[in-house]
Chain A
């Protein structure tokens, strides 16, 4: 069975610092789909990025970058030059079956001005 673990409960950084959020996705499947979601203080859940097993390179979109290391099952998400608006809870998710995801418990990021 698949498992998603986010060991970091809360992280605090000062604005403009880079921050990496960790996620471990354990699966025996050779095909995988991984996601990061953001939940700002307003409460909505926002899809950020996706990575699947066919992607071979680390990816970057604006201030976000992410990579998956299959040897360690680590799916990390980095925010470069953090801003106060990045303060939120971030959830990692992975495929937990044909039709569904499983989510980690979330990491609360606080970016201090």
Chain B
């Protein structure tokens, strides 16, 4: 498929520690996204990128930062993890000319637990 890989798949971390999640794609797509999934909330957009070094905030960006120094990698950092950031995190790519016009391909998800 689109060759999108998330790492790690599972992580347990302590409150207050920084955590970085990685999303890697192999097909040079321009648009990349980070969502979190929580019961009762569906999928909520954290940050997205529309090119190298071009990123923007989504609806739940507080406490998160992102970086995209090369096309294939989109990193999500929890600056100081809190228990409210326990969630499943999904990375997605869009293959289309403008990201919102085409279907996403999602990574397998990262289950993060903050204790």
Contact = CB atoms under 8 A, between A and B. Distances in A.
Interface of A: 6, 33, 35, 37, 43-47, 50, 52, 91, 93, 95-106
B100 A100 contact: yes
Q: Categorize the interface residue count of chain B.
A: 20 to 34
B98 A50 contact: no
14 contacts: A37-B104, A44-B109, A45-B109, A52-B101, A93-B43, A95-B100, A96-B100, A99-B48, A99-B50, A100-B33, A100-B58, A102-B59, A105-B42, A106-B42
- The main secondary structure of chain B at its interface with chain A is strand
Nearest to A47: B103
Interface in B93-107: 98-106
A106 to B, nearest CB: 5
A100 B35 CA distance: 11
Contacts of B31: 99
Given A95-B101, A99-B99, A100-B100, A105 B106 contact: no
